[in-house]
Chain A
């Protein structure tokens, strides 16, 4: 069947099977390989994208379910001039990634968090990111980056 959705502001269409996962459509049909598949069992969060403004695990949503939806992936996070968004820049500034595999999901989850809670506490950040696993265990700096992206002072946070 044919699906059409807005991806990072552009209308995109493609043929999918009933079983095609949203993440496969993004990666394999649209070649948007920024969204990663880590566990493929809904645990790790590397595949988090926004669907109609909400964070979802794209490995656990059918592409057909996203027909007509507004989808945002990590490729759509940079500013219009190509410079990094505030959240992405904070990840770079605070070394919020080691191997980088979980980063797309972390960035998308962080963006969803800051949209609903612009000044989260450290505990709220850690709680919100519980569906995103960093197997380098680089959580301290990820949390620090999210706190910094929210405009808060991070000089006393984590990464002892």
Chain B
């Protein structure tokens, strides 16, 4: 039960990170290997905003929640315009270039922010005891056992992630910018012929994708800590999620994030985390080999 709740928090943040990667792949058909570093950057910026503002932790956190994704998004859009545009979004060269970007971001953070892991205080943090149902002497009884508790903040993370995901969904299906993105995704040349500024759309999508990763990181940073190597695990997990969910399919991505996030929490209770990771990576590789459209996808990627 507790493992499932921890899993839900992981799944919520994972869904945000993965949906960013999925969006970029879906619209631009490129894989952004530096995605995990944008996540890390979000956490680090959250830390610096929160500490420089001072005052009540909630103020710093709220500021970080806005500033970090915007800054990261702008950085990513700039990287897109200076690097990816110039190599014409060639899929293989993009991967090589984003690997380069990964090292640059990671190492520059090491130089400026340093190798320490630093915490950010959560804006609110009440301990909530959870009820548990058990068959007692007087039939079903509800009671509050020791140790079974969560914090209000963790529940808020789950709530916030749901709101943002709904927002992304509404943006893609109900707004003009979403329509333009989907048009670009379906046929880049045709979209361009209809006067859609494809290159600007790409920069925006790349920025939003990185911003979502940063947002996920800001939400998680009061629970974990900001650290310059923290981008590796989310990158790997996002890859897994996006591939299992079907490359470029947004609902599939969310569903897969739930599956992986929950199972990661639950599996690691039974197995050692290393073994759980090995199984997960092998599973993904085999999914890509035998079902390239993903478990929930219908269209070939």
Are chains A and B native binding partners rather than an unrelated pairing?
A: no
A contacts, CB < 8 Å to B: none
B contacts, CB < 8 Å to A: none
